[in-house]
Amino acid sequence: MSDVEIDTAARDELWKSFVGQLQSRLTSMEAAGELEQAKLDQPLRNELGMSTKDGYISIWLHTDTGKGSWNAVTKKLDTAEPWYMSPEGVIEISGEKMDLPHAVECFAEKLVTK
């Protein structure tokens, strides 16, 4: 297996974990009353959309390179930015490096408009 294939496989596993953690976080935020009508869809293998009564976020990742983008349209946000995921699980969003659980929290909090 080449280095690129190893990195891609690592990012694929991280992406799966990311999606699962985001789904769990949205469910807990909705149960706590922080979000209304929370929903997560994954139309493609490395793309997801999270929506609530008050907004939407789309997140995409190219697992070969680790480069992706996200965009949010809520009452508080109307923005799009690149993001990055290393094969080791270091994620960079808006210039800030973080681990996977922090990235999950960062994206989930973008949906909170209350």
pTM confidence score: 0.91
pLDDT tens readout for residues 55-64: 999 999 999 9
pLDDT tens readout for residues 30-86: 999 999 999 999 988 899 999 999 899 999 999 999 999 999 999 888 999 999 999
Cα–Cα separations (whole angstroms), residue 15 to 20, 29, 75: 9, 21, 27
Per-residue pLDDT at 12 exceeds 80: yes
Angle at the Cα of 90 from the Cα atoms of 75 and 80, rounded to 5 degrees: 25
Q: Residue 87 has what pLDDT?
A: 97
